[in-house]
């Protein structure tokens, strides 16, 4: 049987960076190429119905080997990696028996994974870690999740003595650009509940995520030759500071944690005639989330009253909502994961996601879907790493969830 580590190291050879500026589905052809290889692998492992649909979604079934009417369980991960940093030509390396201290990632670039800067490393002394060479991300988000799900299915297929219900797995494209659930066919998937395997450190169970919205401010200016611009030119870029100053300086990602929400400016593109500032708005509390959106609207109104109607326009769009609104109705799904972790020797960590997952949207679409740990740290960047024992425990957790599912009612 192929190990979860060998699978993971093979999967990260595929560059599956998604592209938010693409209008295709998936947003990059490389995701489809990776998906085709996964379908071949799943069929070789015995999941004969594995297929990828026209939108790049992969689904497969491990049939039940019990006769009870236990609901169908789903496990979901995503094919793409973040466009924040390249996922091409990843050169991963294994740090054997990490003994503490700083880890040299790249000698030529003098890049280190500093233990003082990333204190979570202290939890993994004595373990084998997979790290990057500092020039790319690692891709554990979410190729670790894919490797863990497939390894668990491989094990269950080869060990029919372990009783389990019907299991459906799915791998989605473009999660990192917010499109992972856009074309997810719940009827085709046919599960009663599911888990995304897309979380961080060992033991995480996430049933809460941010409510999320995007806010795009467009400032319209007027361009004339600068030599004759007096009382005529309106330079749209000069109003950027007014917008930035309108939002609380201490409510940004770098100033918040836990359940604290934020305003995050993600891009500024400008010229004299037109400047656009894009924010994302996040809050776990639905009431506070709506209040934050109102602040964005007040900013638009304030600037138009101060400088003239039509100077600023705002496009405000909700992205997803906190899945706790749905999952609170199905505590047995979370309790099943908690019990499974405890039985394989893991301390469950019920933590809020300071972000979103496919599971949030799927939950509101009708498929209750908490998020389970995949084991990695520092996703989306060159300092990403994953402890190998955490990957092994993720596989054990998936297997145990399936083995304990008999008789669960949804």
Whether residue 1 is predicted with pLDDT greater than 90 in this model: the reply is: no
Confidence category of residue 206, pLDDT binned at 50, 70, 90: very high
Element (H, E) at 189: helix 186-189
pLDDT (0 to 100) of residue 408:
83
Q: What pLDDT was estimated at residue 79?
A: 98
At residue 70, the pLDDT reads 85
Residues 227-244: tens digit of each pLDDT: 999 999 999 999 999 999
pLDDT tens profile 257-316: 999 999 999 999 999 999 999 999 999 999 999 999 999 999 999 999 999 999 999 999
DSSP class of residue 70? P
Q: Give the per-residue pLDDT at 68.
A: 76
Question: Rounded mean pLDDT of 134-163?
Answer: 97
pLDDT, tens digit, for every residue of 354-380?
888 899 999 999 999 999 999 999 999
Query: What does the alpha-carbon distance between residue 281 and residue 335 come to, in Å, rounded to a whole number?
Result: 31
Is 206 known to be catalytic? no
pLDDT score of 410 more than 90: no
Taking a C-beta distance cutoff of 8 angstroms, is the pair 153, 45 a contact? yes
Encoding tokens for residue 356? 């979103």
* Residue 292 DSSP SS3: helix
Q: Per this entry, what is the length of the chain?
A: 410
**Mean pLDDT over residues 184-196, rounded?**
97
| Rounded average pLDDT over 132-158 | 97
**Is this structure's pTM higher than 0.75?**
yes
CA distance 71 to 167: 9
Distance between CA atoms of residues 356 and 354, nearest Å: 7
Strand ranges across the sheet with 312-320: 262-270, 274-283, 211-220, 312-320
Q: Which domains does the chain have, with CATH numbers?
A: 4-209+323-404 (3.40.630.10), 211-319 (3.30.70.360)
**Active-site position among 15, 80, 198, 396:** 80
Check whether 132 has a pLDDT greater than 90.
yes
Is 80 a known active-site residue?
A: yes
Nearest to 26 by CA among 47, 52, 8: 52
Q: How far apart are CA 75 and CA 156, in angstroms?
A: 14
Among candidate residues 41, 141, 174, 175, the one labeled active-site is 175
């Amino acid at each position: 049987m192929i190990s979860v580590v060998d699978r993971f190291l093979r999967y990260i050879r595929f560059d599956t960076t998604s592209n938010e500026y693409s209008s295709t589905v998936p947003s990059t052809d490389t995701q489809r190429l990776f998906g085709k290889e996964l379908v071949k692998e799943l069929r070789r492992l015995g999941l004969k119905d594995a297929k990828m649909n026209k939108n790049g979604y992969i689904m497969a079934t491990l049939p039940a080997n019990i006769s009870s009417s236990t609901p169908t369980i789903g496990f979901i991960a995503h094919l793409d990696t973040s466009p924040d940093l390249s996922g091409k030509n990843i050169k991963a390396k294994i740090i054997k028996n990490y003994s503490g201290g700083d880890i040299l990632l790249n000698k030529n670039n003098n890049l280190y994974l500093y233990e003082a800067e990333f204190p979570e490393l202290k939890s993994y002394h004595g373990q084998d870690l997979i790290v990057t060479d500092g020039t790319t991300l690692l891709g554990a988000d979410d190729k670790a999740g894919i490797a863990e799900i497939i390894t668990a299915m491989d094990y269950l297929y080869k060990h029919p003595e372990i009783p389990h219900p019907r299991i459906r797995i799915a791998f989605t494209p473009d999660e990192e650009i917010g499109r992972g659930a856009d074309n997810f066919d719940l009827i085709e998937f046919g599960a009663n509940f599911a888990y995304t395997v897309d979380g961080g450190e060992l033991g995480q169970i996430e049933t809460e995520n941010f409510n999320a919205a995007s806010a795009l401010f467009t400032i319209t200016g007027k361009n004339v030759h600068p030599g004759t611009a007096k009382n005529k030119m309106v330079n749209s870029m000069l109003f950027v500071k007014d917008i930035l100053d309108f939002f609380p300086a201490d409510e940004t990602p770098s100033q918040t944690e836990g359940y604290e929400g934020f305003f995050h400016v993600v891009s500024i593109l400008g010229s004299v005639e037109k400047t656009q500032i894009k924010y994302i708005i996040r809050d776990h509390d639905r009431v506070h989330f709506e209040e934050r959106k109102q602040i964005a609207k007040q900013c638009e109104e304030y600037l138009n009253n101060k400088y003239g109607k039509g100077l600023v326009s705002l496009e405000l769009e909700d992205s997803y909502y906190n899945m706790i609104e749905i999952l609170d109705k199905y505590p047995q799904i979370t309790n099943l994961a908690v019990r499974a972790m405890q039985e394989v020797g893991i301390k469950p960590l019920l933590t809020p996601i300071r972000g979103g997952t496919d599971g949030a949207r799927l939950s509101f679409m009708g498929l209750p879907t908490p998020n389970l740990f995949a084991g990695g740290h520092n996703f989306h960047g060159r300092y990403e790493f994953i402890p190998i024992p955490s990957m092994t425990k993720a596989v054990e957790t998936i297997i145990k969830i399936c083995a304990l599912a008999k008789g669960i009612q949804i």
